[in-house]
């Protein structure tokens, strides 16, 4: 029996020993990384499935844990999808965690706090900051284009260092002087004067508050919405992390005008001018002439010398001649190639160090941007240096203190502007025909834009911003937090201009008597310093209490803020430089001029917000703001503005459960709110006496003189912006596909507008009144889709689309179709409907087939409407001219009284507002390879333009362009353009009355960006102490599709100030395409 028991015991021991050997212990090590950026994830929970045994990853994402063969490890991290791994023989793991679709962008930054995306009841968009990465953009504004519906980003030109124009849900917003629907842009809850001063690499998150319920917490400054930018901070428990990135790009203009070949351009000019002066055979402009003989010599020169490199020196008799005391030029030039670089470089470098302990966090980021302009002679250049430092420390369990410094310094260098001579250079570069003399004669240049830029002194414009912020957060009780912040901004702007003289053959004045001498006016022999200072102090104090009882959650906030702003300006100028290469005030001996100004304003307000939700299903938010502004009169300075919003998550209802596999989330929401707009001019509420220097009164001294102050309104109060917003958010198929939609109506009432017209005997202009109402209606759509395939491919797409219309609903009784009146749609273009070009068959001929003339004018056949209203002097309509439609059937083309009731044959032919703005993004990554694509565009936009590029013959003696060559002639009866004529410096006469035929279609679709990147495997780089290395290649503004017949970039904002006058339309600093590459490294 004992032997049997001993045998059994031995067998059991053997089996146990055998089991233990087969279930051997393993020591597993590895590293956990994020699929988003490839960086290590500290604090990841690693648990042996079915046990309580586990560890967390270190600050570098590494871990070590003992397990038994066959057990499963579960890797989990907040906001990430959990990953399970069965352990067999492998003991070294690289784990990649992807964002959890249900947690993606779970928290959104809102006014003075954050909210879960599912809890939002207002119209708020969050923007993935990845849209700013791997692109050669110079500022945040350009990077936001096409990212969220309702946000319109445009730029007047492609000039380096230029700020974009940003509008939210509209173009004008109001008919007063507030500058349009410009949203308030805040960096860490304080306004930033320019997005050029913010380094995109320092940005952690971006939120756009669109409706009044979301933005009213910021008061009158947020009347047109708010863009919230939060900068990056260090993280607690994070080991020191060093990030370095760079971008090297090369840019080329998207499009520039092409001047017609010399002889062809001269032929068009000759026909147009002879039509006005049939008896004249020689025509000239600014001292250069052309005739039929000269046109033939241009052809001969091109046939013999075209395409040859003859150098800059011009030869008398070959390239030009003096005939009958006049200058005739035959040689052609490519002025654009002489003036502009085909490719210009840009570089960007960013370095940051961040980290933290269990109580203290820190981050320091520095950046540099260097951008070269397109000027080949005296190159323009823009540089930006930036630094951002943030510190925070949990000094006690209930107190956190923090501080930070933001510094940005920009410098823009460019040639001096001879503003009243031949500069703006872009205008004059494309003003003259191809045979304009851009070369030299006997070693000296002729007068030209190139000559002026070559001889101009370089001027500097610098801007330095220093921002210091201090703050603390107190948590004395559970659920209660008290936040206090103070920010001081100081911005200095300095411009140093040195003029001088330009020497050339000024044949504009001397004609054929060529004399090389200075020709610019004495007023440009000067040095000028212009400086301005802006200081802003902002204080904010608010308390938030968060309380939960069962299924009820209540969050209440109350606080106040105060802001003061002060601006100084001064300018000092002195004439007669002793040395034009040294532009200093003490090195000039002539007259001195001094100017200066100062203004200041302040705002203050209290605000409150209550958020309530029940079971995460029913949501209610109430907001109140009591605002005061020094910009309004003391009696009307304060006002209260309420707002509210509500939401209903239907998908949380039990009856919704059957369709939850398809519709995983559905929320209805709506909001209403009112905000005041306080952007009034100081002269609207105070009696201002403007000062100026008079001409001589007695003797030769100038005297300081003051003008008569204007009248003041008896009561001028706030403009009120009221917004109603209705929308829904839905997600489908386990949150893979999402849709968001908003419809809104915004009404701006009590606008600051001019009052009734007063008689001249009153002595001053009418006072401003609260008059009129503007209504903006629009809608916004956002779609997104994300999916992770089993083979490891991640795919994400987004599409945004929006539209709006602004209509005047109340205003003074004005019937003019061109004035503000009830029913006027902002941007409407009135014009004629074009029928076609006149043909020979439209006019009466005699028996011999010759045209019958009446005092030199063609006679229209019976039944063809008369256009004699627009005939004057030498101009009358004939074959090849534009034929307009008679819409009212009265037998003639007229504009009636230009009123709503009588506008003759005029009608609304288009609208200049950008409609149906859209953006589409596609992002993919697979085993370290990533691909991104961004398409952006405008579905509908019309424009009636101005100037010679748009209208052939606008100034017929100057440049004609290659796109004008398709003009009517008996040999080309189906041409696009009418027969050449002198348009008389007008975009509203003769063949170019506003009309459908030549109305510009500025809709477009542009491939904004394509980026391809590759992240090196961690096993390759870890031995060098690196956590991430990514290289990428990127293309910006690669190509576009549009319906333009002109060499224009459709993205340029041609409605911007100065962009549509006769000199500048189509001749602004060009937009650019760029190719770039870069490197991103994390240690």
Would you state the structure tokens that stand for residue 23, as one six-digit string? 């279930």
User: So what's the pLDDT on residue 104?
Assistant: 41
Cβ atoms 910, 942 nearer than 8 A: yes
Specify the DSSP class assigned to residue 224: T
515 falls within a domain: no
Q: What is the CA radius of gyration of the chain?
A: 35
Q: Which residue blocks in 647-712 are alpha helix, DSSP H?
A: none
- Taking alpha carbons only, the member of 663, 669, 635, 634 closest to residue 651 is 663
Taking residues 448-472, what's their average pLDDT?
A: 91
Q: Give the integer Cα–Cα distance in Å for 440 and 624.
A: 71
Would you state the structure tokens that stand for residue 985, as one six-digit string? 């410096």
Q: Give the integer Cα–Cα distance in Å for 747 and 774.
A: 6
993 shares its domain with 1046: yes
pLDDT band at 88 (very low <50, low <70, confident <90, very high): confident
Q: Give the integer Cα–Cα distance in Å for 782 and 531.
A: 45
User: So what's the pLDDT on residue 701?
Assistant: 56
Q: What is the CATH number of the domain that holds 78?
A: 2.60.40.10
What DSSP string runs through 262-319? HHHHHHHHHHHHHHH-TT---EEETTEEE-HHHHHHHHHHHHHHTT----SB--BTTT
401 falls within a domain: no
Cβ atoms 601, 562 nearer than 8 A: no
146 shares its domain with 235: yes
167 shares its domain with 230: yes
In the numeric block, the tokens 């949380």 are attached to 652
- Residue range 12-68, pLDDT digits in tens: 343 333 434 444 678 888 888 887 667 778 778 888 887 878 887 876 788 888 888
User: So what's the pLDDT on residue 581?
Assistant: 80
In the numeric block, the tokens 């992807």 are attached to 98
Which of 209, 229, 250 is the endpoint of a domain? 250
Dihedral angle computed from the Cα positions of residues 708, 709, 713 and 716, in that order, rounded to the nearest 10 degrees: 150
- Residue range 568-607, pLDDT digits in tens: 999 998 888 888 888 888 888 888 888 888 888 899 999 9
Q: Give the integer Cα–Cα distance in Å for 343 and 337.
A: 11
Looking at mean pLDDT, say which of 137-146, 261-270, 374-383, 704-713 comes out highest: 261-270
Would you state the structure tokens that stand for residue 330, as one six-digit string? 């035959």
198 shares its domain with 290: no
- Taking alpha carbons only, the member of 945, 951, 959, 961 closest to residue 981 is 951
Taking residues 704-710, what's their average pLDDT?
A: 69
Which of 199, 218, 250 is the endpoint of a domain? 250
User: So what's the pLDDT on residue 920?
Assistant: 96
- Residue range 780-796, pLDDT digits in tens: 999 999 998 888 899 99
Helix (H) or strand (E) holding 510: helix 507-510
pLDDT at 609 over 80: yes
Q: Between helices 262-276 and 292-305, what is the axis angle to 10°?
A: 170
User: So what's the pLDDT on residue 78?
Assistant: 67
pLDDT at 6 over 80: no
- Residue range 654-695, pLDDT digits in tens: 999 999 999 999 999 999 999 888 765 555 666 666 666 655
Cβ atoms 502, 518 nearer than 8 A: yes
Cβ atoms 804, 823 nearer than 8 A: no
Taking residues 519-547, what's their average pLDDT?
A: 90
Q: Mean pLDDT check: name the lowest of 104-113, 755-764, 890-899.
A: 755-764
- Taking alpha carbons only, the member of 644, 648, 655 closest to residue 618 is 648
- List Cβ neighbours of 570 (8 Å cut-off, separation of 6 or more): 530, 531, 532, 594, 595, 596, 597
pLDDT at 536 over 90: yes
User: So what's the pLDDT on residue 436?
Assistant: 96
- Residue range 330-352, pLDDT digits in tens: 999 999 999 999 999 999 999 99
Cβ atoms 623, 609 nearer than 8 A: yes
384 falls within a domain: no
1003 shares its domain with 1017: yes
Cβ atoms 121, 669 nearer than 8 A: yes
195 shares its domain with 130: yes
Residue 466 φ then ψ, to 5°: -125, 125
In the numeric block, the tokens 């001929």 are attached to 845
Q: In the beta sheet, which residues pair with residue 1009?
A: 934, 1036
Q: In the beta sheet, which residues pair with residue 366?
A: 351, 387
User: So what's the pLDDT on residue 692?
Assistant: 64
865 falls within a domain: no
In the numeric block, the tokens 């008398």 are attached to 316
Q: What is the CATH number of the domain that holds 135?
A: 2.170.130.10
305 falls within a domain: yes
- Residue range 541-550, pLDDT digits in tens: 999 999 999 9
pLDDT at 829 over 70: yes
686 falls within a domain: no
138 shares its domain with 186: yes
For 219: left if phi > 0, alpha if psi spans -120 to 50, otherwise beta; the answer is: left
Which of 97, 116, 150 is the endpoint of a domain? 97
User: So what's the pLDDT on residue 674?
Assistant: 92
245 shares its domain with 266: no
Q: What is the dihedral sign for C-alpha 250, 256, 260, 266?
A: negative
pLDDT at 417 over 60: yes
Residue-range definition of the domain harbouring residue 1043: 252-311+940-972+988-1082
Q: Give the integer Cα–Cα distance in Å for 1083 and 1078.
A: 17
Dihedral angle computed from the Cα positions of residues 189, 193, 196 and 200, in that order, rounded to the nearest 10 degrees: 0
User: So what's the pLDDT on residue 177?
Assistant: 58
231 falls within a domain: yes
Looking at mean pLDDT, say which of 221-235, 525-539, 748-762 comes out highest: 525-539
In the numeric block, the tokens 């061109």 are attached to 818
Please state whether beta strands 288-290 and 283-285 pair in parallel, antiparallel, or not at all (unpaired).
antiparallel
Taking residues 207-229, what's their average pLDDT?
A: 87
pLDDT band at 501 (very low <50, low <70, confident <90, very high): confident
Cβ atoms 914, 153 nearer than 8 A: no
pLDDT at 11 over 60: no
146 shares its domain with 271: no
pLDDT at 558 over 60: yes
Q: Give the integer Cα–Cα distance in Å for 973 and 990.
A: 19
241 shares its domain with 286: no
User: So what's the pLDDT on residue 1056?
Assistant: 74
pLDDT at 803 over 70: yes
605 falls within a domain: no
User: So what's the pLDDT on residue 682?
Assistant: 58
Number of domains in the chain: 3
User: So what's the pLDDT on residue 236?
Assistant: 83
Q: What is the dihedral sign for C-alpha 186, 190, 193, 195?
A: negative
Dihedral angle computed from the Cα positions of residues 243, 244, 250 and 251, in that order, rounded to the nearest 10 degrees: 40
pLDDT at 628 over 80: yes
Q: Mean pLDDT check: name the lowest of 33-47, 740-754, 923-937.
A: 33-47
pLDDT band at 77 (very low <50, low <70, confident <90, very high): confident
pLDDT at 106 over 70: no
User: So what's the pLDDT on residue 680?
Assistant: 58
* Averaged confidence pLDDT in the chain: 87
Cα 158 versus chain centre, distance: 11
In the numeric block, the tokens 């002595």 are attached to 763
153 shares its domain with 194: yes
111 shares its domain with 225: yes
pLDDT band at 223 (very low <50, low <70, confident <90, very high): confident
User: So what's the pLDDT on residue 490?
Assistant: 94
Q: Mean pLDDT check: name the lowest of 52-66, 499-513, 649-663, 708-722.
A: 708-722
- List Cβ neighbours of 823 (8 Å cut-off, separation of 6 or more): 807, 808, 809, 900
- List Cβ neighbours of 129 (8 Å cut-off, separation of 6 or more): 200, 203, 204, 205, 206
- Residue range 147-158, pLDDT digits in tens: 899 888 888 888
The whole model's pTM is what?
A: 0.86
% of the chain residues with pLDDT over 70 = 90
């Amino acid at each position: 029996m004992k032997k049997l028991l001993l045998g059994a015991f031995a067998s059991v021991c053997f089996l146990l020993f055998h089991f233990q050997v087969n279930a051997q212990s393993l020591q597993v090590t590895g590293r956990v990384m994020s699929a988003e950026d490839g960086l290590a994830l500290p604090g990841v929970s690693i648990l042996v499935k079915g046990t309580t045994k586990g560890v967390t990853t270190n600050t570098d994402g590494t871990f070590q844990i003992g397990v038994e063969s066959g057990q499963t490890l579960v890797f989990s991290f907040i906001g990430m999808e959990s990953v399970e791994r069965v352990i067999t023989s492998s003991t070294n793991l690289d784990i990649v965690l992807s964002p959890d679709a249900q947690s993606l962008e779970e928290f959104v930054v809102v006014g003075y706090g954050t909210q879960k995306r599912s809890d939002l009841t207002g119209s708020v968009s969050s923007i993935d900051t990845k849209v700013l990465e791997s692109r050669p953009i110079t500022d945040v504004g350009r990077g936001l284009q096409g990212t969220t519906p309702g946000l319109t980003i445009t730029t007047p030109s492609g000039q380096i260092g230029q700020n974009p124009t940003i509008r939210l849900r509209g173009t004008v917003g109001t008919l007063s002087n507030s500058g349009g629907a410009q949203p308030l842009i805040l960096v860490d809850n304080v306004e930033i004067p320019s997005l050029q001063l913010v380094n995109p690499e320092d940005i952690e998150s971006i939120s756009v508050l669109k409706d009044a319920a979301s933005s009213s917490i910021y008061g009158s400054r947020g009347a047109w919405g708010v863009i919230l930018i939060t900068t990056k901070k260090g993280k607690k428990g994070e080991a020191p992390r060093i990030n370095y990135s760079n971008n090297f790009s090369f840019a080329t203009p998207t499009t520039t005008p092409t001047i017609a070949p010399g002889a062809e351009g001269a032929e068009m000019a000759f026909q147009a001018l002879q039509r006005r002066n049939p008896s004249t055979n020689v025509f000239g402009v600014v001292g250069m002439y052309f005739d039929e003989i000269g046109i033939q010599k241009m052809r001969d020169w091109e046939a013999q010398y075209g395409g040859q490199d003859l150098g800059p020196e011009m030869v008398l008799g070959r390239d030009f001649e003096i005939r009958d005391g006049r200058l005739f030029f035959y040689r052609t030039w490519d002025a654009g190639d002489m003036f502009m670089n085909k490719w210009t470089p840009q570089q960007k470098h960013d370095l940051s160090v961040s980290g933290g302990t269990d109580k203290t966090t820190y981050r320091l980021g520095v950046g540099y941007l260097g951008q070269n302009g397109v000027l080949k002679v005296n190159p323009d250049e823009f540089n930006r240096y930036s630094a951002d430092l943030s510190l925070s420390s949990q000094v006690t369990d209930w107190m956190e203190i923090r501080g930070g410094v933001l510094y940005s310094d920009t410098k823009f260098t460019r040639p001096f502007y001879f503003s009243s001579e031949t500069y703006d250079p872009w205008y004059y570069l494309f003003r003259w025909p191809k045979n304009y003399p851009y070369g030299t004669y006997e070693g000296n240049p002729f007068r030209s834009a190139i000559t002026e830029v070559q001889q101009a002194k370089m001027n500097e414009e610098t801007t330095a911003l220093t921002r210091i912020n201090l703050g603390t957060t107190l948590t004395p009780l559970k659920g209660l937090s008290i936040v206090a912040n103070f920010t001081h901004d100081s911005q200095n702007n300095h411009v140093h201009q040195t003029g001088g003289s330009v020497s050339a053959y000024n044949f504009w004045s001397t004609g054929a008597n060529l004399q090389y001498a200075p020709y610019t006016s004495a007023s440009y022999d000067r040095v000028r310093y212009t400086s301005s200072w802006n200081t802003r102090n902002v204080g904010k104090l608010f308390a938030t209490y968060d309380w939960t009882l069962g299924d009820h959650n209540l969050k209440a906030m109350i606080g106040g803020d105060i802001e003061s702003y002060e601006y100084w300006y001064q300018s000092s100028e002195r004439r007669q430089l002793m040395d034009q290469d040294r532009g200093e005030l003490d090195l000039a001996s002539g007259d001195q001029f001094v100017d200066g100004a100062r203004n200041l304003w302040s705002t203050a307000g209290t605000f409150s917000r209550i958020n309530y939700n029940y079971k995460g299903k029913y949501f209610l938010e109430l907001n109140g703001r009591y605002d005061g502004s020094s910009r309004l009169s003391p009696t009307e300075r304060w006002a209260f503005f309420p707002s509210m919003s509500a939401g209903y998550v239907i998908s949380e209802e039990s009856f919704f459960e059957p369709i939850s596999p398809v519709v995983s989330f559905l929320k209805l929401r709506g909001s209403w709110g009112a905000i005041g707009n306080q952007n009034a001019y100081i002269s609207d509420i105070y009696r201002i006496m403007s000062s100026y220097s008079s001409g001589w009164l007695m003797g030769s001294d100038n005297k300081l003189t003051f003008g008569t102050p204007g009248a003041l309104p008896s009561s001028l109060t706030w403009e009120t912006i009221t917004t109603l917003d209705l929308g829904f958010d839905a997600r489908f198929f386990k949150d893979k596909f999402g849709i968001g939609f908003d419809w809104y109506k915004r009404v701006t009432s009590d606008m600051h507008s001019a009052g009734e017209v007063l008689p001249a005997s009153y002595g001053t202009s009418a006072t401003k009144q609260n008059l009129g109402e503007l209504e903006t209606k629009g809608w916004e759509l956002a779609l997104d889709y994300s999916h992770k395939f089993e083979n490891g491919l991640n795919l994400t797409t987004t599409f945004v689309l929006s539209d709006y219309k602004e209509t005047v609903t109340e205003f003074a009784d004005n019937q003019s179709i061109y004035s503000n009146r009830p029913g006027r749609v902002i941007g409407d273009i009135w014009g004629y409907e074009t029928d076609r070009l006149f043909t020979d068959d439209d006019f009466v001929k005699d028996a011999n087939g010759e045209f019958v003339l009446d005092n030199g004018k063609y006679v229209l056949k019976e039944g063809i409407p008369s256009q004699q209203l627009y005939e004057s002097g030498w101009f009358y309509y004939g074959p090849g001219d534009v034929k307009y439609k008679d819409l009212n059937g009265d037998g003639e083309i007229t504009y009636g009284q230009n009123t709503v009731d009588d506008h003759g044959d005029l009608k609304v032919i288009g609208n200049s507002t950008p409609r149906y703005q859209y953006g589409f993004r596609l992002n993919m990554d697979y085993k370290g390879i990533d691909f991104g694509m961004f398409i952006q565009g405008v579905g509908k936009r019309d424009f009636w333009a101005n100037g010679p590029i748009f209208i052939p013959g606008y100034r017929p003696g100057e440049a004609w362009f290659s796109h004008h060559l398709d003009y009517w002639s008996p040999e080309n009866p189906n041409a696009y353009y009418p027969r050449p004529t002198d348009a008389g410096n007008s975009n509203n006469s003769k063949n170019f009355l506003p009309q459908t035929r030549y109305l510009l279609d500025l809709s477009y679709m542009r491939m904004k960006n394509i980026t391809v990147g590759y992240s090196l495997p961690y096993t390759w780089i870890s031995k060098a102490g690196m956590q991430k290395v990514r290289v990428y290649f990127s293309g910006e503004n690669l190509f576009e599709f549009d319906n333009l017949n002109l060499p224009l970039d459709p993205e340029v904002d041609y409605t911007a100030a100065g962009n549509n006058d006769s000199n500048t339309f189509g001749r602004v600093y060009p937009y650019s395409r760029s190719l770039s590459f870069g490197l991103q490294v994390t240690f």
